[in-house]
Amino acid sequence: MLPAIEVHKLSKWYHLRADLPAEYHTLRDALAGALGRLAGRRPAPVRTVRALDAVSFEVRPGEVVGIVGRNGAGKSTLLKLLAGITEPTGGRAVLRGRVGALLDVGAGFHPELTGRENIYFSGAILGMKKAEIERKLDAIVAFAEVEEFLETPVKFYSSGMYVRLAFAVAAHLEADILLVDEVLAVGDLAFQRKCLGKMEAVSEEGRTVLFVSHNPAHVKRLCGRAIWLERGRVRFDGNAHEAVARYQASLLAPPDDPATSADGFVAWRLVGEPDPFTLDHEGPVTLEITIAVREEVRDGLHALVLQTPDGLRVAGWGFQGVRLSPGTHRLHYRFPTLPLRPGSYRWFAGLWDGGETVDTLLFPRPLVIATPAHSVLGDTWAGVLNVPCALEVKKTP
Amino acid sequence: MRSRFISRVSWGKAVSDDRSLYRVIEPSQGWKALRWRELWAHRELLFFFVWRDLKVRYKQTALGAAWALVQPLAALLIFSLVLGRVVGVPSEGVPYPLFAYTALVPWTYFSSTLTQATNSVVRQAHLIRRVAFPRLLIPASGALTGLVDLILSLLPVPVLWALYGSGPSWRLLTLPLWLLLAVAVALGAGTWLAALNVRYRDVRHLVPFLVQLWFFATPVVYPSRLVPAPWRHVYALNPVAGVVEGFRWALAGAPPPTAVLAVSTGAAALLVVSGVIYFRHAERAFADVI
C-alpha cells in the first residue's frame, strides 16, 4: 500500500538579513539595497536559518505519528509545509487523501459573528463544504455544549466556550490525513480530556494523523510512533515511548556529566551497550559507576536506587561492607534482567562509612529504556515494569 | 534528483480512492500559471468570505447598510454646491447633480475597495499564518462585497431622475457590463496594492495620496472633454475613466464614452490580469513574510 504521507528531503530555509530584525522589510530598505548594489556596495550578509533540513519519513495510512522536539526544532514548520501554508525550499512531499490541518483553534473566528455564523465560516475555511457543515452542525454544537448561545456573538462567550466551539468545528472535519498542532493544549482539564478522547476516536477510525505536541503524555497516549526533531533534522523515528524517552532525556541531560566534584560519585554508564546511556533490551546488563574517594572507606554502606523522573522508586539495592582505598574506582553492577517499560529513569547512589556520609548523588543524566513494550500500546495502564505475559482462554464445561 | 524520486513513487494503488485529492508539495519554480483548479475548488469559500464581510460590516451600527449611501450623497452635496453652482463646471447637458452622482457611485466603490484591499491581506495575517487557502480570495471578496454597497448606492438615482425630469433608457441594460468593468479595475488595482503591502508596509501610507491623485485623474466631477484632445488617449489609460463614463452614459444619458472606452478597457484588462498573476505569484510566500 502506498504511504499516506511521503516526505523526501523536505527543507525550509529562511533568509534573514543580518542587519535587520527578522522579517522586517520596508520599501526604504529595498530601495536602499537596490541603490547600494548599483553603487557596487555589497548587500548586508544574509543569515540562513534552516528551520527544516532535509527531513524524510513516510507514514502509512491509519498510522498516528507524534512529532516531538523543542521550540524551534521545526515541528510547526513541518506541519505548515504539509498543510500548504508555506512552500518548501527544497525536497518534496506527497499527501494521498483529503488533508485537514488544525494548526490553530478558532481559525477564522470573528468576534462579532454568532456561534452559528462562526461555525459556518470556520468550517468553510478549514475545507468543509456547506452541505457538510449543515449536516454536522448539531454534532458540533452538542460537542461544544453551546446550544443556548448559538445565536450570540462569540465576543460574549467565555474563553472556555470559545475554545470548545472552535475545537468542535475542527474535530468534525472529515479528512483522511489530519495535521494537528497543539490544539489540545487549550481549555480546561475536562475539555482537554474530551478532546483527547475525540482524537483517539479519530485515530481508531483509521485516519492518518500527524500530531505535534509539547505534552509527551499526549503523544504516548495517542501515537504508536513518534518522530523527534531537533534543529530541523530527524533525531529519532520509531516507537513513541522510545522517542519521547530519548527526547526527554536530551532535555535533562547536560552534554557532559558535570555532576560532580572530583570527590564522590562521578559518572555512570552501561558497559557493552552501543549507547552507554540507553538500554534497548531486557538484560543481562552491566552498570558501571565511577567513584573517587579521598579517604579510605573501611566498612561502607552503599545504596543504589533506580527511580522514575517524578521520583517513584522502581528498585533499590543495598551493599554492605564495601571497602575502597583512596583514589578512583569503577563499580560494576550486574543485573540479570532489567524489565522496564520504555521511558526515562534516573540513578541515585549513596555511600556511607561508619554513619558518616561519603557522598549521595542523583545522577542528572537519565537512563533511557528503549525496550519494546510487551503490553499493547497506550500508556494509561502501563505501569513501570515490562513483564511478558501470555493469555490463555479456557471455557469451563 | 527530482525525477529519481518521482520514479520511486508508483501511482498504482491509491490510498484514497479519489486521486484528485493527491497533493504534491514541492518548491514551485518561476511564474507558474494561475492554478485555476485550486481557485475553482475554493469557489464556495469565496462565497463565505463575502457572506462574512457583509455580516460583519454593519454589525452594531445604527444606520446599518444606509452607510453605503452616506458617502456618495455627502460627496454629491459638496461637489454640486462647489463645482456645479459656484464654479459652474460644464456637465455635458446633464443636470450637474445627476452628472456627478452617476460617476460618484462607481468612484466610491473603486476608492473604498482600493483602500480596503490594500490592508485586507495584512489584516488577515493570523489566518494566513495558520490556514491554507488561496489568498486571492481575500481581495476578491473585498471587491465583491463592495459591489453590494455600490448597488445600494444606486437607489438615489431614480430620485435624481424624478427631480431633474429625466428617466431610464435602454442604456440601463448595459449597466452589468460597467459593473463588471468596475470590479475588474478594483480587483486589478487591489491585488497589486494588497500584495505589495504585505512586503512593503509603506504602501498603506501611499494609498491615500494615490486615491486622491486618481480622483483628479478621473472624470468624476468634470467631463473628460475638458482634457485637451491630444492628451485624451493618454488620459484614457486610466481604466477608471472608462468605468465612470460608462456609468454616466448608462444612467444619465451623457455622451457615449467611445473615445475613452477602448483604451480604458484595454488598460483595465491589463491591470486585472497582471494584478492577479502578480498576487498569485506573491501569495505563496505570504505566510513567510507577513
Whether chain B has a CB inside 8 Å of the CB on A22: the answer is no
User: Which residue pairs from B204-207 have beta carbons closer than 8 angstroms and sit at least 24 positions apart in sequence?
Assistant: B204/B118, B204/B119, B204/B122, B207/B114, B207/B115, B207/B118
CATH of A5-249, one of 2.60.40.3140, 2.60.120.260, 3.40.50.200, 3.40.50.300: 3.40.50.300
**Within 13 A of B39's CA, how many CA atoms are on the CB side?**
15
| Record: contact B24-A96, CB cut-off 8 A | no
Whether chain A has a CB inside 8 Å of the CB on B22: the answer is yes
From the list B9, B15, B130, the residue facing A4 with the nearest CB is: B15
Query: What distance in Å separates the CA atoms of residue A109 and residue A124, rounded to the nearest whole number?
Result: 11
Query: What distance in Å separates the CA atoms of residue A154 and residue B126, rounded to the nearest whole number?
Result: 18
pLDDT at position B250 = 92
Pick the closest to residue A162 from A197, A110, A100 (CA basis): A110
CB A201 within 8 A of CB A122: no
| Record: contact A87-B133, CB cut-off 8 A | no
Nearest Cα of chain B lies from the Cα of A93 at a distance, in angstroms, of 5
pLDDT at position B147 = 92
Whether chain A has a CB inside 8 Å of the CB on B50: the answer is no
The grid cell for A241 is 515511548
| Record: contact B21-A1, CB cut-off 8 A | no
- Letter for the amino acid at A9? K
Query: What distance in Å separates the CA atoms of residue A165 and residue A115, rounded to the nearest whole number?
Result: 8
The grid cell for B198 is 504585505
| Record: contact B127-A125, CB cut-off 8 A | yes
Where, residue-wise, is CATH 2.70.50.60 in chain A?
Answer: 264-369
Query: What distance in Å separates the CA atoms of residue B105 and residue B247, rounded to the nearest whole number?
Result: 8
- The values of phi and psi at residue A366, to 5°, are -80, 155
| Record: contact B26-A25, CB cut-off 8 A | no
Lowest mean pLDDT among A191-195, A357-361, B80-84, B274-278: A191-195
Percent of chain A with pLDDT over 70: 87
Decide if the complex's ipTM is over 0.95: no
Q: Which residues of B touch A83 (CB under 8 A)?
A: 131-132
Nearest Cα of chain B lies from the Cα of A34 at a distance, in angstroms, of 14
User: Which residue pairs from A311-317 have beta carbons closer than 8 angstroms and sit at least 24 positions apart in sequence?
Assistant: A312/A384, A314/A340, A314/A345, A314/A384
Whether chain A has a CB inside 8 Å of the CB on B169: the answer is no
From the list A3, A99, A110, the residue facing B56 with the nearest CB is: A110
Instruction: Give residues with Cβ within 8 angstroms of B147, minimum separation 6.
Output: B109, B179, B183
| Record: contact B44-A130, CB cut-off 8 A | yes
pLDDT at position A20 = 52
The grid cell for B97 is 447633480
| Record: contact A86-B60, CB cut-off 8 A | no
Query: What distance in Å separates the CA atoms of residue B120 and residue B146, rounded to the nearest whole number?
Result: 13
From the list B2, B15, B25, the residue facing A81 with the nearest CB is: B25
User: Within a 10 A sphere around the Cβ of A343, how many other Cβ atoms?
Assistant: 26
Query: What distance in Å separates the CA atoms of residue B246 and residue B248, rounded to the nearest whole number?
Result: 5
In the predicted model, is pLDDT for residue A359 greater than 60? Answer: yes
CB A304 within 8 A of CB A332: no
Pick the closest to residue A8 from A83, A86, A97, A82 (CA basis): A82
Burial A56-78 (b: 16+ CB within 10 A, else e): ebebebbbbbbbbbeeebbbbbb
Name the average pLDDT for chain A: 84
CA angle B286, B288, B290 (to 5 degrees): 55
pLDDT at position A114 = 92
| A304: helix, strand or coil | strand
Query: What distance in Å separates the CA atoms of residue B89 and residue A193, rounded to the nearest whole number?
Result: 72
Q: Chain B interface, mutation test: which of A60, A102, A125, A178, most B Cβ atoms within 10 Å?
A: A125
Give me Rg for the CA atoms of chain B: 22
Whether chain A has a CB inside 8 Å of the CB on B13: the answer is yes
Q: Which residues of B touch A121 (CB under 8 A)?
A: 48, 51-52
Whether chain B has a CB inside 8 Å of the CB on A82: the answer is yes
CB B139 within 8 A of CB B117: yes
From the list A97, A108, A120, the residue facing B21 with the nearest CB is: A97
Whether chain A has a CB inside 8 Å of the CB on B289: the answer is yes
Lowest mean pLDDT among A185-194, A240-249, A352-361, B277-286: A185-194
Q: Which residues of B touch A81 (CB under 8 A)?
A: 25
CB B34 within 8 A of CB B284: no
What are the start-end ranges of the H helices in B9-164?
36-41, 43-57, 67-79, 96-123, 125-130, 137-152, 156-164
Nearest Cα of chain A lies from the Cα of B141 at a distance, in angstroms, of 13
DSSP state letter for B118: H
Q: Chain B interface, mutation test: which of A23, A56, A57, A94, most B Cβ atoms within 10 Å?
A: A94
| pLDDT tens by residue, A37-96 | 666 666 666 778 889 999 999 999 989 999 999 888 899 899 999 999 999 999 999 999
Angle between helices B43-57 and A115-125 (to 10 degrees): 150
Query: What distance in Å separates the CA atoms of residue A223 and residue A49, rounded to the nearest whole number?
Result: 30
List all residues of chain B from 87 to 126 with a beta carbon under 8 Å from chain A.
Answer: 126
| Record: contact B21-A176, CB cut-off 8 A | yes
Residue of A nearest to B138 (CA): A125
Instruction: Give residues with Cβ within 8 angstroms of B126, minimum separation 6.
Output: A104
| Record: contact A95-B25, CB cut-off 8 A | yes
DSSP state letter for B201: T
From the list B131, B285, B287, the residue facing A125 with the nearest CB is: B131
Q: Chains A, B: CB contacts under 8 A, how many?
A: 133
Query: What distance in Å separates the CA atoms of residue A188 and residue A159, rounded to the nearest whole number?
Result: 10
pLDDT at position A357 = 87
| pLDDT tens by residue, A123-173 | 999 888 899 999 999 999 998 888 899 999 999 998 888 888 888 888 888
| pLDDT tens by residue, B163-175 | 988 888 899 999 9
Pick the closest to residue A347 from A362, A327, A331, A325 (CA basis): A362
A15 burial (CB, 10 Å; 0-12 / 13-18 / 19+) is: exposed
- From first CA to last CA, the distance across chain B in angstroms is 32
Instruction: Give residues with Cβ within 8 angstroms of B33, minimum separation 6.
Output: none
Phi-psi region of A321 (alpha: psi -120 to 50; beta: other; left: phi over 0): left
Angle between helices B239-252 and B96-123 (to 10 degrees): 140
The grid cell for A15 is 533568509
Largest CA distance in chain B: 79
- Letter for the amino acid at B173? L
Assigned fold of A264-369? Coagulation Factor XIII; Chain A, domain 1 (2.70.50)
Q: Chain A interface, mutation test: which of B9, B48, B209, most A Cβ atoms within 10 Å?
A: B48
Nearest Cα of chain A lies from the Cα of B189 at a distance, in angstroms, of 19
Question: Does A310 or A359 have the greater pLDDT score?
Answer: A359
Residue of B nearest to A109 (CA): B127
- From first CA to last CA, the distance across chain A in angstroms is 44
Instruction: Give residues with Cβ within 8 angstroms of A9, minimum separation 6.
Output: A54, A55, A56, A90, A91, A92
**Within 13 A of B152's CA, how many CA atoms are on the CB side?**
18
List all residues of chain A from 268 to 297 with a beta carbon under 8 Å from chain B.
Answer: none
CB B253 within 8 A of CB B169: yes
Q: What is the pTM of this model?
A: 0.77
| pLDDT tens by residue, A76-91 | 899 999 999 999 999 9
Q: Which residues of B touch A92 (CB under 8 A)?
A: 2, 5, 24-26
Residues of chain B with pLDDT under 50: 1-15
DSSP string, A81-138: HHHTSS--SEEEEEE-S-EEEE-STTTT--TTSBHHHHHHHHHHHTT--HHHHHHHHH
Nearest Cα of chain A lies from the Cα of B15 at a distance, in angstroms, of 6
Whether chain A has a CB inside 8 Å of the CB on B43: the answer is no
Residue of A nearest to B283 (CA): A86
- Sign, CA dihedral A33-A35-A36-A42, equals positive
